[in-house]
Amino acid sequence: MTPSPKAVLWGSEFGRTLTLQGGDGRDHHPHAFTMWMAGGGVKPGFSYGQTDEYGFYVAENGLHVHELHATIFHLLGIDHEGLTFQYVGRDFRLTNVHGEVAMPILA
């Protein structure tokens, strides 16, 4: 795959709920968050994954952060498995020897 200079990615720190946090603003949660991608080989005009009705937990098609990173590397033309190195007898890589490219989101 040839990397595209026209890839745009946006992500948040972590999710925000619809409920209030002691009356001082919306509550935070680390279980689900929104990210969008455009160009660079991402399938246009669709969404992947869904949360529960409160936006708190992943309900379907969630991606682990390692899968997200593997997919971003793929979009940049980098084989994340090729970045594996060994240290003290253990394999390490930026996707922590986990994560597969999320093929359903690719064009």
Position 8 confidence tier, pLDDT thresholds 50, 70, 90 = confident
DSSP sequence for 5-61: TT-EEEE-SSEEEEEESTTSSEEEESS---EEEESTTBPSS----EE-TTSSSEEES
Instruction: Write down the pLDDT at residue 17.
Output: 67
Residues 27-66: tens digit of each pLDDT:
777 788 788 888 888 999 888 998 888 777 889 998 888 8
Instruction: Write down the pLDDT at residue 29.
Output: 72
Instruction: Write down the pLDDT at residue 23.
Output: 67
CA distance 33 to 83: 27
Record the pTM. Answer: 0.76
102 Cβ contact list (under 8 Å, min separation 6): 48, 63, 67, 68, 70, 71
Instruction: Write down the pLDDT at residue 2.
Output: 59
